[in-house]
Structure 1
Amino acid sequence: MGYSIESCNLGETGTLESFLGFPLSQPQIEFDESMPSTTIRFDSAVIKKLSHNASERDRRKKMNILYSTLRSLLPATDYTKKLSIPATISRILKYIPDLRKQVERLKQRREEIQSIISRQTDHVPVNENQSQTTVGTSLPTVSASQVDDKEVLIQICTYRDSRSPLSEALLYLEEEGLQVLNASGFASFGETIFYNFHLQMKESHRMDCEILIQKLLLMFGKREDLLDDDFACR
């Protein structure tokens, strides 16, 4: 006995759907044509934000490097501390004037030292017509001038063929606890040479100019009275 859908006395669609076992109508899928542009706009905003974040990270990294470099210019006592950025800037602003004052003090000290050396050089005879006998009896000469409690200037005038080389004198000065800050030399009258030493006494040593002069005179071959007034410490 055959049945057709038309012959079934089914008054309601729901009953027919139950009988067939599947819905008669399929759900309609609506496509939003505006979705692609919305997605594009969303992606553009995300990319822009990510780019901004990357740029900001790069900027902060560069700033940290600059602040680290700036911090390294501070004295060692400050550099060992973990200073914040505001503290670093504050310390730098105070440190720059201190450096300027220090530079001015060093310039003044240099002028004082140059003046002392100039006065000492003026006391050495430079007349080429001066008799060899006079020059011979006055060499070698040693003079010392204290700049302060820790620094001294020493000038030595001797012959070029002195039996004690300059290296031996430098070694002796170091053994005596003197640090050579500056050393220079120049020749004059052919056989005469001048040495200038700017020395600083180490903390654990005591400076005695007369003893220093005596030992240097012995080193450079002086046979005359070591306590001559011409070689006294100024």
Structure 2
Amino acid sequence: EITHEIIEWGTNTNKSKELENEARELAKRMIKYGISEKQGDRIVQVLTAMPKLARYHKPDKLLVDNEEISIGTNKLKIIWTPGHAVGHICVFDNDRRYLFSGDHILSEITPHIGSFIMTPTLKKKYDFNNILDYYLRSLDKIDDLNSKIIFPAHQDVIYNPSERILEIKEHHKNRLKEISNIIKENPLTPVRIAEIHFGNDLTEINSFLALSEVLSHLIYLEEQNKITRIEKNGKFLFSS
């Protein structure tokens, strides 16, 4: 339902002004995190083009968390797993203990965890600010299923689900530690942290994804009171 609401809203030309307002709010926030005014304008340009680039198609059925659906003789359970996307779901075949994980769990890489543009109504209903916490708790939820095999949307089938989930958790644990070390007694903007952590030779889209990924980890650390945020000259600086 969450994904449906975002797509329906983002492709509705009658909601263009709302979309523009949300895009400008996101750009304004990202400028405080260290991007330039020009880059902020680019965010608005890309996001407000959505109604022109995509067309809404009404789905046959909306799926919700913990719902069970039947396909032939198979009963499948819908599991809401926010992280890579706020409306992301996995599908679990309880009889065979097969998990269809989408982008939530991949065999070789970890999915991007970061910022999203939200509809005004969803912003009132949910607080996805600490999206990494949502993702890690979603991993725990999946691990508790004791899946036999995971079929991801990309890459290879995963035959050791619990081991792979642990690897992903360790990856984020290490990234949290690395980011914390970068800003130890050294206040920096998220943009500068992303440049140090990921490099500064990235494409436009990858630079934004890197910033978004770093932000998800900074906010997670901030929520745990492990780092502090100050504002200086209109920019947010983080330090540990």
Superposition TM-score tier, normalisation by shorter sequence: under 0.3
Q: Which has the higher contact order (CA 8 A, sep 6+)?
A: 2
After TM superposition, the score normalised by the length of structure 1 is 0.25
After TM superposition, the score normalised by the length of structure 2 is 0.25
